[in-house]
Chains A and B, each alone.
Chain A
Amino acid sequence: MRRVAIAFLIAVFLVVLPAEVVAPYSFATQFRDLPNAAPSHAHLLGTDALGRDRLSRLLFGARVSLLLAPAAALLSVLLALGLAFLAALGGSWWERAILAAADLSLSLPWFFLLLAARALLPLNAAAATAAAVTFGLLGVLGWAEPARVMVAAIRQQLRSDFVLLAHASGCGRGRIALVHLAPHLAPVAAAQFLIATPAYLLAEANLGLLGLGIPEPMPSWGNLLRELESVSAVAANPWVLAPAAILILVVGCFHLAVSADKRVI
Chain B
Amino acid sequence: MLGTVARRLARFVAVLVIGGLLGAALVRFAPGFGTDERMLDARLSNASIQAIARERSDGSNVVSYYLGYLGRLAKGDLGESVSLGRPVRELLAERASTSLRSVSAGFFSAWAAALGLVLLLEWLGFRPLRMAASLSAGALLCVPAAVVAIACFYFSGPPALAIAAILFPRIFRYAQNLARHAAEAQHVFAAHAFGESRGRIFWLHVVAPVAPELIALAGVSVSMAIGAAIPVEALCDSPGVGQLVWQAALARDLPVIVNVTLLITALTLAANLAADVARGARGHAE
Contacts and interface: CB of A to CB of B under 8 A. Distances in A.
A198 B143 CA distance: 11
Given A109-B268, A120-B252, A229-B150, A209 B231 contact: yes
Contact of B27 (A117, A202, A228): A117
A108 B263 CA distance: 10
B122 to A, nearest CB: 20
B138 A107 contact: no
Nearest to B228: A111
Interface stretch (B18-26, B100-108, B198-206): B18-26
A251 B142 contact: yes
A109 B265 CA distance: 6
Nearest to A262: B177
A133 B250 contact: no
Given A115-B246, A210-B235, A248-B139, A109 B147 contact: no
B27 A120 contact: yes
Interface stretch (A31-39, A66-74, A81-89, A121-129): A121-129
A229 B235 contact: yes
Contact of A211 (B154, B250, B252, B268): B250
Interface stretch (B32-40, B181-189, B207-215): B32-40
Given A109-B223, A109-B227, A234-B154, A119 B249 contact: yes
A210 B32 contact: no
B265 A120 contact: no
A53 to B, nearest CB: 23
B261 A112 contact: yes
A80 interface: no
B15 A107 contact: yes
A119 B154 CA distance: 26
A122 B31 contact: yes
B146 interface: yes
Given A120-B30, A123-B40, A212-B250, A248 B230 contact: no
Contact of A231 (B139, B154, B226): B154
B234 interface: yes
Interface string A194-218: 0000100010011001111000000
A109 B150 contact: no
Interface in B217-267: 223, 226-227, 230-231, 234-235, 245-246, 248-250, 252, 257, 260-261, 264-265
Interface in A207-253: 209-212, 225, 228-229, 231, 234, 244, 247-249, 251-252
B176 interface: no
A75 B145 CA distance: 24
Nearest to B235: A209
B99 interface: no
24 contacts: A107-B223, A108-B265, A112-B249, A112-B260, A112-B261, A113-B261, A115-B245, A119-B250, A119-B252, A120-B31, A122-B32, A205-B146, A206-B144, A209-B147, A210-B235, A211-B250, A212-B249, A225-B147, A228-B147, A231-B153, A247-B142, A251-B141, A251-B142, A255-B142
Among all A-B residue pairs, the 4 with the closest Cβ atoms: A120-B30, A209-B146, A119-B249, A122-B32
Interface of B: 15, 18-19, 22-23, 26-27, 30-33, 35, 37, 39-40, 138-139, 141-147, 150, 153-154, 223, 226-227, 230-231, 234-235, 245-246, 248-250, 252, 257, 260-261, 264-265, 268-269, 272
Given A110-B227, A228-B150, 17 more contacts: A107-B19, A107-B223, A107-B265, A109-B268, A112-B230, A113-B26, A116-B261, A123-B35, A202-B144, A209-B231, A210-B234, A212-B250, A234-B154, A244-B143, A244-B147, A248-B142, A251-B141
